[in-house]
Amino acid sequence: MDIKVLRCKICGEVFIGKALPSNCPYCGVENKFLIDGSAYKDENDVELTDISKKNLEKALSIELSNTAFYKCIANTSTEPLIAAMFKGLSKIEKEHADVFRKILKPESDPEINETCSDDSLASLNSSKERETRATVFYSQALKEATENRLKEVFTAIMKTEHDHLALDNEMIKKYK
């Protein structure tokens, strides 16, 4: 099998490998967004409406908050599976923050501080709340977006948060 060089249309990161993964290994979007490296175009310079600017600010702060919260759990948990899960989720949310930052181009990031506990079930329930909030917000931001690039990004990332919610539900069953 040939080695492929694919690039994610959403996060712009590059995947090099033989078999197509089900999702972008960086931002977690479905593999339909992984395109041939030669076909990639940067589409992040967008003329934004005021409402989309406001929604991107909120999206950036949701993603930064989730990145910090998940990183805290990854560093605090004594359960290897919980630590691994949240290490992965933190990386993905960081990629989401990077995507929104590339489109919004803010002068600075909002100040974010998160604390967490080493209680696995409490962490999973907090994550479930966060992913639910994110999914609901992205579906509203998607309705309000008129820019094609934003519609694409909100749709793809909303689906990823939905996958995280499904993972939370699976893990909650295990740790109950």
> Which residues lie near Fe ion (CB under 5 A)?
8, 10-11, 24, 26-27, 63, 93, 96
Residue 148: CB minimum distance to Fe ion, A? 18
Residue 24 or 48: the one with the smaller Cβ distance to Fe ion is 24
Residue 130 burial (CB count, 10 A): 21
Q: At what angle do helices 120-144 and 80-104 cross, to 10 degrees?
A: 20
Residue 27 or 60: the one with the smaller Cβ distance to Fe ion is 27
Residue 94: CB minimum distance to Fe ion, A? 9
Could you tell me how many residues make up the chain? 176
Which helix (H) or strand (E) segment holds residue 35: the answer is strand 34-36
Residue 93 or 168: the one with the smaller Cβ distance to Fe ion is 93
Residue 78: CB minimum distance to Fe ion, A? 25
Distance, CA of 161 to CA of 140 (rounded, Å): 14
